[in-house]
């Protein structure tokens, strides 16, 4: 019998990091009193100091303040993208696994075609077709993740259907709906949750990439990808404009990745 390993120090640290950014999303004014979109002209391009821990940008805006408020732009959008991908993927993958072989073959073929397209290219295609902006970017990233969710959920449900307890439940008179609700969903929840957390970290990076390319939130929105793009012209004189938003982006993505790894790592029961 296997169970999932308890959270270790690394996972606790990851949760702490995500909690700090969660606080930034919910109560940004509790962490900073500056305005993220209004700067002071005389304070432009100040290096990090005690007054501005992460320095200021070309318009005199505090970089730390913009990172804090940028969490509200990037992280909820990544959550929307991930939820879009898992919902669509669960529907397609579950339908393929529970349907007749003909339907399964057709849906699997569609999934394979989508998987052959790089996710970023697919997201760019969708956002160009639907329009720019944070909502469109989030939905585009979610759609680009659908095939990955669908493939894994299909294989997971098919493996669960072959388990002896599923066959026993069927022979005992459990209906199709009851088999899904009472046996397949509870056993598929934990692996899918771990996958969802992992894909959330990837959605953060994808959304930042779209923001960097100009397909996300428009200026002067403090979005992390946009902040990195704005600072690329000042790399030689104001490295902090790109370094600190990039570190914030990588910190959240790495913490989410490690948490997903801990959630999906099984271990043998101890006697």
pLDDT in tens, 210-255: 999 989 888 889 999 999 999 998 998 999 999 999 999 999 999 9
Q: How far apart are CA 242 and CA 152, in angstroms?
A: 36
Query: Do residues 70 and 134 lie in contact, with contact meaning Cβ atoms separated by under 8 Å?
Result: no
Q: What is the pLDDT of residues 86-142, one digit of tens each?
A: 999 999 998 888 888 899 899 999 999 999 999 999 999 999 998 888 899 999 999
| pLDDT attached to residue 271 | 39
The stretches of 28-98 forming alpha helices (DSSP H) are: 63-98
Helix (H) or strand (E) holding 3: strand 2-4
Q: Which residues pair with 171 in a beta bridge?
A: none
Please, what sign has the CA dihedral across residues 165, 90, 265, 6?
A: negative
How many helical (H) and strand (E) elements, i.e. helices and strands, does the chain have?
10, 2
3-state secondary structure of 49: coil
| pLDDT attached to residue 269 | 46
| pLDDT attached to residue 2 | 45
Q: Which residue has the higher pLDDT, 153 or 186?
A: 153
The ranges assigned to domains in the chain are 8-27+61-263
Q: How far apart are CA 87 and CA 199, in angstroms?
A: 13
Q: What is the DSSP letter of 46?
A: P
Q: What is the DSSP letter of 239?
A: T
How far are the Cα atoms of 22, 99, 213, 255 from residue 248, in angstroms, in the given order?
Answer: 13, 44, 18, 11
> What angle do helix axes 185-213 and 240-264 make, rounded to 10 degrees?
170
Q: What is the pLDDT of residues 41-57, one digit of tens each?
A: 898 999 999 989 999 99
| pLDDT attached to residue 159 | 82
For the chain, percent of residues with pLDDT exceeding 90: 56
Confidence of residue 166 (pLDDT cuts 50, 70, 90): low
| pLDDT attached to residue 1 | 38
Total Cβ atoms within 10 A of residue 14: 23
Q: How far apart are CA 139 and CA 84, in angstroms?
A: 7
- Mean pLDDT, residues 185-207 taken together: 87
Q: How far apart are CA 209 and CA 205, in angstroms?
A: 6
| pLDDT attached to residue 181 | 61
Cα 106 → chain centroid? 28
Domain 8-27+61-263 has CATH 1.10.3720.10: yes
């Amino acid at each position: 019998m296997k169970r999932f390993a308890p959270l270790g120090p690394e996972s606790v640290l990851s949760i702490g990091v995500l909690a700090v950014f969660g606080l930034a999303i919910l109560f940004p004014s509790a962490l900073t009193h500056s305005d993220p979109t209004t700067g002071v002209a005389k304070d432009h391009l100040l290096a990090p100091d005690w007054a501005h821990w992460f320095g200021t940008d070309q318009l005199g805006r505090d970089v730390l303040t913009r990172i804090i408020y940028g969490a509200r732009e990037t992280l909820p959008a990544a959550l929307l993208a991930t939820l879009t991908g898992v919902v669509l993927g669960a529907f397609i993958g579950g339908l393929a696994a529970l349907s007749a072989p003909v339907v399964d073959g057709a849906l699997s073929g569609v999934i394979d075609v989508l998987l052959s397209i790089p996710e970023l290219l697919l997201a760019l295609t969708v956002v160009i077709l639907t329009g720019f902006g944070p909502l469109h970017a989030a939905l585009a990233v979610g759609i680009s993740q659908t095939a990955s969710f669908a493939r894994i959920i299909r294989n997971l449900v098919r493996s669960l259907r072959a388990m002896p307890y599923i066959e026993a439940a069927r022979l005992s008179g459990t209906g199709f709906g009851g088999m899904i609700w009472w046996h397949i969903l509870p056993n598929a929840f934990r692996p899918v949750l771990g996958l969802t957390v992992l894909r959330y970290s990837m959605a953060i990076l994808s959304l930042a990439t779209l923001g960097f390319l100009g397909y996300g939130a428009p200026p002067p929105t403090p979005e992390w990808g946009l902040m990195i793009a704005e600072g690329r012209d000042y790399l030689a004189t104001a490295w902090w404009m790109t370094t600190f938003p990039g570190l914030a982006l990588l910190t959240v993505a790495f913490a989410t990745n490690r948490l997903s790894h801990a959630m999906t790592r099984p271990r043998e029961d101890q006697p």
